[in-house]
Amino acid sequence: MKEKSLGLFLGQLRQVNFIKASTILLPKILNLQFVKKIIETLLYPARKEQNLPNAELLSIVVDKNYRGKGIAQNLFEKLEEEFRSRDIKQFKVVVGSDLKAACRFCEKMGCILHRCK
């Protein structure tokens, strides 16, 4: 009897979460800018930028409660150490031009801007 009621409960939970997730995601899915970003992200690996290194920093994210404490800088410096240990002399960081704080951080860390989208 317990298993049957647990199965029923889990089924109802899935339905509720599906409905809740749908109401949250549907407006985003219908947003043209959001769809454009999804397509851009999916096509990114196929694009090969000329004269840029293969090694790449994909992302550094620090919880807002811990920002301003040097964590991102420490992570960036550790990545540079790791790249040096692998004899990687250059790496790329792709940052959306609308992410102003990320752009400033990269410049602070010595990154060279190649182009803005």
Sequence ranges of the domains in the chain: 1-47, 50-117
44 pLDDT more than 70? no
8 Å CB contact between 108 and 114: no
Lookup result for tokens 């809740």: 20
85 pLDDT more than 60? yes
Stronger pLDDT, 81 or 31, i.e. the higher one: 81
Stronger pLDDT, 84 or 4, i.e. the higher one: 84
Residue 2 pLDDT: 46
Integer Cα distance of 88 and 79 in angstroms = 11
Q: What percent of the chain lies above the pLDDT cut of 90?
A: 33
On whether the pTM is more than 0.95, the answer is no
* Averaged pLDDT for residues 82-86: 95
Residue 53 pLDDT: 78
Supply the CATH classification number for the domain 50-117.
3.40.630.30
6 pLDDT more than 50? yes
Integer Cα distance of 22 and 48 in angstroms = 35
8 Å CB contact between 98 and 105: no
